[in-house]
Amino acid sequence: MKTLCIAYLVFLTALLLTADPSGMIGIKGGTPLLLRSLMPYAHLLSFSVLAVLALVARWPAPRWALVILLVVYSGTTEVAQSFLPPRTAEWLDWLQNLGGIAIGVAVCWSLSAAGRLIGVREDGDQKSPPSNEWEVVHRVMSRPRVGEESWWG
């Protein structure tokens, strides 16, 4: 998963720092209708995918640190675009980048919480299923014990 994350990061960086990203993805002439309808959300979708890949890859760092790195990366690419005509740095693009990161974090967090609800640990081991609704709520809402890693690392 780490290899896929790195490959996607390199590809996304190349797309963000290229004067004509449509040429990199093989679009010559007219843009297909589906792709044309997704273009206004390109930053949002691409950073959502990047955030999910980065958080699922299990890097040896806390998840909050990965989120901070993604935010810094998104701002850095926007600033770098201002030095690559005809590309420009735009606040709306950066806000979409941040929104995509937030969506990716929310997806990973909800999947992690759902795994805790059904009794699956992040390392793949099974723990005993909850015996009642109170135990389900308690598992999801309680703080981790001392020495136990939380979702954020």
Q: Mean pLDDT over residues 52-63, rounded?
A: 90
Neighbours of 85 (CB within 10 A): 8
Neighbours of 121 (CB within 10 A): 10
Tell me, letter by letter, the H, E, C secondary structure of 30-51.
Answer: CCCHHHHHHHHHHHHHHHHHHH
pLDDT of residue 101: 97
Comparing 29 with 21, the larger pLDDT belongs to 21
Q: Is the pLDDT of residue 150 over 80?
A: no
Where is average pLDDT lowest: 71-75, 93-97, 131-135?
Answer: 131-135
Q: Mean pLDDT over residues 98-114, rounded?
A: 90
Residue 4's nearest CA partner among 44, 45, 50 is: 50
